[in-house]
Structure 1
Amino acid sequence: MDTTRGNFAFNLADCIQYGIAHHHDMVNANLDVDFSREQVKEATAKLLPHADINANFTDNMKLATSLIPDIASGNYDRKIPVQFGTRFSSNATGQVNQTIFQSDYFLGLKASRVYRGLATKNLTRTEIDTKVAIIKAYYAVLTNQENIRLSKANLDQLRKTLSDTKARYDAGVSERVDVDRIQVSYNNGVTQIENQVRELVYTMQLLKFQMGMPQESNLELRETVQDLNVEAFSTDTLSYKVEDRVEYSIQNTQITLNELNLKSKKMAYLPQLNFFVNYGVNWFSTKFGDLYKQGFGASALGLNLSWSIFTGTERLHQIRQLDITLKKSQNDLDFLSQQIKLEVKSANTSYESNKATFVTQKTNMTLTQGIYDRIVMKFEQGVATSLDVISAESQLTQARTDYVNAMLATLISKTDLDKAMGRIK
């Protein structure tokens, strides 16, 4: 395998491994897990101390005027205008706040961790979907390759028959119509293989897309349909559990989140307590140049309690809404269980039907091949006509097509069944 030139020789396991590492959806799902990890750290950091610095500068271009009694002259009934303060003032204050109690902090931390678990489960679901898409595309490539192999084998046989017929015609034993009939059938066979090759190119492009592999890369598969041993596939639909499906686990996580949301809203009735400590410096001056020559410090510490005693009935209705949401998610879990069971039955029915069809079509193809071989032999002996050969060849082509289609349907339905039973991890 030459990764520098983009040349790959993979089996199914290699394709899946490559797809998990490179597919667009997998990359984004992994980034979602990283994002949820940062959310947990963010929730944890909320209980750490928070520090703020505030500063300002003021130019009182015209000081405010106040009226006070005329104390100097002893006439208290007379009011005189005075101005307090200085033109320039400035201050800077630093404050540290620490949350001592906040009702929803620990619930929020727990919820963020549940969100992280949800992101991880979504990653698992994306991984399963990616695997299924790769497996189906991989099977499509293998069955197309098998279809081409069978078509070429039949075409080789038809080419020999055509060559022999031409030789007999040249010897005056066969008629021109026999040569033309077999030639038409041969030409159709060539065109059919060309179309199958185009289909193979497309299915290979689809496989590379599902793997997240650049279309310019060269991919070769190290397996054939013979390596799959389709007839040996077996299923046991009695041992599966709905809990094996990642969707079931995701819905359980959603219920947990809804429970936490409800509990958080109920605990919002509790007060919030914060501790603070600050220190600041104030500067005053009538001249700007002298403003920062002397400062006056100030400091304070204390506790801050906030408690929303009554907020109307808004919170009550919010709690009821969240309770309804929780009940809906629990109901969705029950529905999902029934849905999974029906999915398994449907997938199993399709698989068993497709497998039975595959076994029949494989037998039919063998029988049709035998019929074709005997007709060709009789034709060469002069017992059968060219029409018999064309008819037998047409039946063989149809039998081969039915066999390959049945094989692909069996492989696809087996994949769907494994996914439905939660066996693709």
Structure 2
Amino acid sequence: MRCWLPYITMRKTLLTVALLLTVKALSAQQDTTSGNYVFSLEECIKYALSNQNNVVNARLSRQSSLERIREYRGRLLPHVTVTGNFTDNLKLQTSLIPDIAGNPDNKIPVQFGTKFSSALTGEATQTLFNSDYFLGLRAAKVYDELSVRDLQRTAIDTRVQVSVAYFDVLVALESIRIVDANLAQFGKTLKDTKARYEEGVTERIDVDRIQASFNSVETERANLERTKGYAYDLLKFSMGLPLNAKLDIKETVNDFTSVALPDSMNYSVLDRPEYAMQRVQVELNRLSLKSKKLEFLPTLNAFVNYGFNWFGGEFSELYKTGFGASALGLRLSWPIFAGTERIYQARQYAITLQQSQNDLSYLDQQIKLQVRDAWTQFKNNYASYLTQQKNIELTQGVYDRVVLKYEQGVSTSLDVISADNNLKLAQNEYITALINALISKVKLDQAMGKIKVE
């Protein structure tokens, strides 16, 4: 019996481990399905690129364009049709023929055919030449490129939108952290002031002043909490995440303080998906004009068919005997003259092409102006960020010295309140400058076409 103990012990251990892993897996599954998410910025963007409504629709448009290419390819394949009919001649048509046996001038009424007839024919046609088919296939491929560019543009816009919403959440969280720190500092000052007042060292007016400022900070804290809730909802909406899901973020403002100038201002308008989309639109308009000009060319199809015909004076005898028929040939359709509408339609297409070319040139200048504006905004925000970074250190030092002097009885409560207001202002301006610098950097990268989405 002793020789089995190690085996039984090991087996129990394995079963215990397996049970724990199963429970852990089930717990993880419940966490996922319960709608609790903890994401970094990149994870938020990744989720948005898979679930955000505009991205999903752009991806569906891409799939639709692929189906359009297959549609035009399918037009070049043979087309097979089967037609059938059944006829009950309620009254046969009467014709007049000469009386060959008697007087040829006399006309004899006769009826041809049978009361019942039926036919079944199958025909296969193959397009040999049709300019619209081949141009349509080329246009479908160009349209597919347009959908690809649209998907890229939508993904880039979504990335920027999620980044801005994420930074708004960071602002709300950091503002709450700063207010909490101020509440702690101010609460200590208020407590010390009350103690000094009870000892008769200070006046009641000092307690009331600091208490009023403390109450204002508490109200600001409650307002920021509501602002944070809306910022989270906006982020979830930008991601395509249900608003009732619980979302937390992994990062803080400190993870994004390394704002840096761009490596260079070298860029190409060709990197902007909007410019590529407009170039594709020009190509589509050029193909439309070419298709209209080639409408005078003939269409050539080959066909082969085979069928059966049945006849009978009675319905019961209709399908007893059938007569086969088959044909092989070519069909040529050539629109020699179809009025002058095609000429004027071609002129309209030419005007549309010229307009799209003008729009392309205009977009080139527009993108360059956007880059200059984005660069100016970033430089201004970056300079403000560097300044506020220094100011917050100075105002924090001033506040600490004023509080120390107040505790020593050298300064007044008004000095403390003024220093606190200056500190809060500097803190808010620093956070605002930091977030503005980050957002303007993202928008500068977008303007220069440097945001790439796989």
Q: Same fold (TM over 0.5)?
A: yes
Matched to 1:20, the amino acid is L
Q: Of 210, 213, 220, which aligns to 1:192? A: 220
Query: In the alignment, what sits opposite 1:133?
Result: 161
Query: In the alignment, what sits opposite 1:4?
Result: 33
CA contact (8 A) 1:43 1:108 kept: yes
TM-score, with length taken from structure 2: 0.90
Q: Is 2:168 the partner of 1:144? A: no
Matches within 5 A, 1:392-403: 392-403=419-430
Q: How far did residue 407 of structure 1 move?
A: 2.0
Deviations 1:55-85 (A, max 9, x none): 111111111112222223x111222222111
Structure 2 Cα separation of the partners of residues 61 and 327 of structure 1? 63
Structure 2 Cα separation of the partners of residues 162 and 378 of structure 1? 15
Q: Of 279, 291, 305, which aligns to 1:264? A: 291
Q: Is 2:77 the partner of 1:65? A: no
Counterpart of 1:220 in 2: which secondary structure? strand
CA contact (8 A) 1:143 1:407 kept: no
Matched to 2:338, the amino acid is T
Query: In the alignment, what sits opposite 2:21?
Result: none
Structure 2 Cα separation of the partners of residues 151 and 352 of structure 1? 29
Query: In the alignment, what sits opposite 2:76?
Result: 47
Q: Is 2:55 the partner of 1:26? A: yes
CA contact (8 A) 1:49 1:96 kept: yes
Structure 2 Cα separation of the partners of residues 274 and 280 of structure 1? 20
Query: In the alignment, what sits opposite 1:212?
Result: 240
CA contact (8 A) 1:343 1:420 kept: yes
Structure 2 Cα separation of the partners of residues 29 and 246 of structure 1? 14
Structure 2 Cα separation of the partners of residues 423 and 229 of structure 1? 21
Matched to 2:411, the amino acid is A
Q: Of 309, 313, 316, which aligns to 1:286? A: 313
Q: How far did residue 356 of structure 1 move?
A: 1.4
Matched to 2:84, the amino acid is A
Matched to 1:371, the amino acid is V
Structure 1 Cα separation of the partners of residues 389 and 127 of structure 2? 74
Q: How far did residue 243 of structure 1 move?
A: 1.1
RMSD: 1.4
CA contact (8 A) 1:36 1:115 kept: yes
CA contact (8 A) 1:102 1:273 kept: yes
Matched to 2:306, the amino acid is Y
Structure 2 Cα separation of the partners of residues 385 and 355 of structure 1? 37
Q: How far did residue 4 of structure 1 move?
A: 2.8
Deviations 1:144-198 (A, max 9, x none): 2111111111111100100111111111111111111111111111111111111
Q: Is 2:149 the partner of 1:118? A: no
Deviations 1:215-246 (A, max 9, x none): 2222221111111124x411245311111111
Q: Is 2:121 the partner of 1:97? A: no
Deviations 1:118-146 (A, max 9, x none): 11110001100110100000111112211
Structure 2 Cα separation of the partners of residues 269 and 186 of structure 1? 85
Matched to 1:377, the amino acid is L
Structure 2 Cα separation of the partners of residues 113 and 152 of structure 1? 59
Q: Is 2:452 the partner of 1:415? A: no
Matched to 1:280, the amino acid is G
Structure 2 Cα separation of the partners of residues 354 and 415 of structure 1? 12
Structure 1 Cα separation of the partners of residues 97 and 353 of structure 2? 66
Matched to 2:421, the amino acid is S
Structure 2 Cα separation of the partners of residues 355 and 143 of structure 1? 17
Q: Of 81, 87, 108, which aligns to 2:136? A: 108
Deviations 1:323-367 (A, max 9, x none): 221121111111111000000101111111112122222322222
Query: In the alignment, what sits opposite 1:314?
Result: 341
Structure 1 Cα separation of the partners of residues 62 and 374 of structure 2? 31
Matched to 1:94, the amino acid is G
Counterpart of 2:248 in 1: which secondary structure? strand
Structure 1 Cα separation of the partners of residues 43 and 265 of structure 2? 31
Query: In the alignment, what sits opposite 2:302?
Result: 275
Q: Name the % identity.
A: 55
CA contact (8 A) 2:257 2:434 kept: no
Q: Is 2:182 the partner of 1:159? A: no
Matched to 1:174, the amino acid is T
Larger CA deviation: 378-387 vs 394-403: 394-403
Counterpart of 2:265 in 1: which secondary structure? coil
TM-score, with length taken from structure 1: 0.96
CA contact (8 A) 1:251 1:333 kept: yes
Q: Unpaired runs of 5+ in structure 1?
A: none
Q: How far did residue 6 of structure 1 move?
A: 2.2
Q: Is 2:364 the partner of 1:337? A: yes
Query: In the alignment, what sits opposite 1:229?
Result: 257
CA contact (8 A) 2:123 2:305 kept: yes
Structure 2 Cα separation of the partners of residues 67 and 259 of structure 1? 61
Structure 1 Cα separation of the partners of residues 275 and 221 of structure 2? 46
Q: Unpaired runs of 5+ in structure 2?
A: 1-27
Query: In the alignment, what sits opposite 1:249?
Result: 276
Matched to 1:235, the amino acid is P
Query: In the alignment, what sits opposite 1:376?
Result: 403
Q: How far did residue 30 of structure 1 move?
A: 0.9
Counterpart of 1:292 in 2: which secondary structure? coil
Q: How far did residue 113 of structure 1 move?
A: 0.8
Matched to 1:23, the amino acid is Q
CA contact (8 A) 1:237 1:344 kept: no
Query: Hey, which bits of structure 1, 4+ residues long, moved more than 3 A?
Result: none
CA contact (8 A) 1:169 1:179 kept: yes
